[in-house]
Amino acid sequence: MKRVRSGDFAQRWRAARACARCHRLKSRCVYEDPEHASCRRCYALEIACSVEADPTAQTARRRPAMKLPARTPDQILRKVQRLLADAEREFSRMPGADHEGENGEEHLHKNTTVFQQPRPAQDVLSSLISEAEACARYACFHERMAIYFPVLTFPGHLRDFRQAMAASPLLVLACIYVTTICDHGLSEAHQNRRLGSQVLEYLDKALAQTIYVEAADLSYHIVFACMILSLWGVPPLRVHQYKSHIDLITAYSVAVCIDAGNVSLVNPLAVLSDDSVERNNLRSFLAVYCSCGSLNFSLPRFNFATWSPRHNLAMELLSRPLSGTLPSQGDRFLCFYSRVIRVGKQLSDFLTESGVSMNLLTSEEERGGLAGLCPPGPRANSLRFQKLVADLSVYEKNLTDTVSESGILGGLTQSAVAPGERFCLLLTYYHLVMMIHDNLVSCCIYNLTVDNQVQPQGMYFPQQDKDLIMEHIRKFGEICGRILGCFIELNASGVTGYPTFFYYRALTALISLIRLLILVKSDILQVYFPEIQSVRFRLPCLYAEVLKIVDSSKEHFDLQVCERFSDLLQRIGRWVPVVAANDNELSTDSNDGIDFLELTDISKGQEVEKFAARQMLRNDDGKLTPMAISALIVDAEDEHASRGQDLMSDNAPKPASFSIKEMFKGIDEDIIRYLNPFDTLDAGFSFTFD
């Protein structure tokens, strides 16, 4: 190796920081010994080290060049065009970019057209089904579905398919979509479902474009379309958990934006016409209030629609006799139903403001007991309870008097009242009465359990209060049975086109009845009310009837709503044998320390679907033993395995340890997850028993 002056090499190396060979190899070049005129690597290999030229470059092997795929001129041209478009788009976003000129406006319009509807609704509908089928489905909605929720009052011209298509294609598509959730014999089952998914996908995009992007030229047609999607929506399954709520809120928002309730803008002459915009704006104004009020009964947080003087004026205009055909029967029912919802809203507000409903109380107020603070004297507690019962009786009487005006509570025959009006009113009325007894019983039991340090025997509880609570416990169970009986009667005639929230009324009544039976079995109620052991309700029979209806509708009509509800009914079925089939077979002395009151406690993060039931074991007397009850629920391996497992199979895995409290852990979260669009359990027994 040729030696050079080390001082010159060191100077050049410091300037370059690496010799040529190390630089080519992308390796670290280390120059340690100033006596050597080379770096450490080159010195070890005994080769010349230079900071300007690489002596080994001539013999080094070059890496083969990467072969690019062959491209045609057209591909190259499209690539260049995409790059230019990206560059132009980035340039347009830069501060100071000039879009004020004619070219800038054209460019901006060209970019926004990407987000507009690619095809009109008429073209989409004609590409999916024939005009004859579309006309048949639209007629099916009005004849078999809309009549069971007459709150939606359509004008005469919107009942004709061609006139409705000319007025609002999106409204027609919404009506056609809800006919696909059930097999009405208009097409094959698989074609029916495919049509539903395609129409819903287009509707979601088109409504979002119309309402949120364009945000112009809105009308009552959009309000009706959003309400239809909300009322007849399919229950959620892992996705769309809040779609029904959002659709209803959207309908309310559009009604506010178009100022549908502004009576001062109404031309008195225009109201004379059934097809006028002014009259239909008033109809949509009241219909939105009714639907939002129904949602608020079950979900108190959705308290955004309130009664105003405009509602009174709208009712007055719609119910005013104008001609031989106006007001229509739909207008009369809409005004009457609005009054019922108004009374129900007053009741709901009273339950919240008086502290009876504990949905909206803070944790500190809940710990304080009834209405935040427990009265200092025991007699004050009794007086407060009696006043509460008296106030609620006034609201219940007002509600009953209002509903009685329709004649459905006076024994009128079904021919005197339209079936849709009758069932719509009865289910709403029974639900509000159930809400009264539900909250009253819940509040009283919570007040008894607020102080864990005081033994029940030592608390003051007069006999008259005991009689009142027992009366409301019985009424609570009876009204749940009436809701279920009304639902069973509705389905006995083969009707399947009613709104989805009718199912929620029935399922909520089933679950409320289960919780009531849990309270009946609790230690604290059996101490205060020994006679409560004689309370009986027809839970197993009612559950079997509802299950039969759901299974039959799913099998014969391919009803997607029932398909989703089957999972929830299976979960309810796990609790029925414990709280009903074995009613009072275990005394408080033989329940092995089980506190049935604590079974209603809410446990975050636990779901009932993680448990599977086993066969019940009985002793020689035919009664369940405590060990048999402890074997009712066992841990499943995971969520998917539990769904495919027979709930009453002996092959279920045996638990390592068990507490019967696990039976109802997560009951609220599990039910709220499936009871979504209109009814959840926020209206009753929503607090925890500590």
Residues β-bridged to residue 618: 624
What is the number of other CB atoms lying within 10 angstroms of the CB of residue 654? 9
Helix (H, G, I), strand (E, B) or coil at 618: strand
Helix (H, G, I), strand (E, B) or coil at 96: coil
Compute the distance between CA of residue 278 and CA of residue 295 in angstroms, rounded to an integer.
Answer: 26
Which residue is associated with the tokens 């207008």?
Answer: 331
pLDDT interval class at 687 (50, 70, 90): very low
Cβ distance 375 to 384 under 8 Å?
yes
Structure tokens at 118: 């690619």
> What backbone phi and psi angles, to 5 degrees, belong to 613?
-85, 155
Q: How, if at all, do strands 611-613 and 633-635 pair?
A: antiparallel
The distance of Cα 226 from the centroid of its chain, to the nearest Å, equals 15
Helix (H, G, I), strand (E, B) or coil at 210: helix
The distance of Cα 178 from the centroid of its chain, to the nearest Å, equals 17
Give mean pLDDT, residues 530-546: 85
Cβ distance 500 to 148 under 8 Å?
no
Condensed to tens digits (0 to 9), the pLDDT of residues 83-110 reads: 888 888 777 766 555 444 445 555 444 4
Give mean pLDDT, residues 388-406: 90
Compute the distance between CA of residue 411 and CA of residue 421 in angstroms, rounded to an integer.
Answer: 15
What is the number of other CB atoms lying within 10 angstroms of the CB of residue 200? 21
Q: How far is CA 35 from CA 22, 48, 51, 55, in A?
A: 20, 15, 17, 21
Compute the distance between CA of residue 159 and CA of residue 635 in angstroms, rounded to an integer.
Answer: 54
327: preceding bond cis by omega (within 30 degrees) = yes
pLDDT interval class at 615 (50, 70, 90): very low
Say how many Å lie between the first and final Cα of the chain, rounded.
90
Q: How far is CA 670 from CA 248, 603, 609, 650, 684, in A?
A: 23, 10, 8, 25, 15
For position 556, what pLDDT does the model report?
81
Asked if residue 685 has pLDDT above 70, the reply is: no
The H-assigned helical ranges of 309-377 are 309-319, 329-353, 363-368
Give mean pLDDT, residues 290-318: 89
Smallest Cα–Cα separation from 20: which of 36, 44, 41, 1? Answer: 41
For position 138, what pLDDT does the model report?
96
More confident residue, 235 or 506: 506
Asked if residue 297 has pLDDT above 50, the reply is: yes
Domain 1-58 has CATH 1.10.10: no
Burial 556-573 (b: 16+ CB within 10 A, else e): ebbbbbbbbbeebbebbb
Condensed to tens digits (0 to 9), the pLDDT of residues 259-274 reads: 998 877 667 777 778 8
Domain ranges of the chain: 1-58, 121-323, 354-683
Condensed to tens digits (0 to 9), the pLDDT of residues 321-339 reads: 877 788 899 999 999 999 9
- What value does the mean pLDDT of the chain take? 74
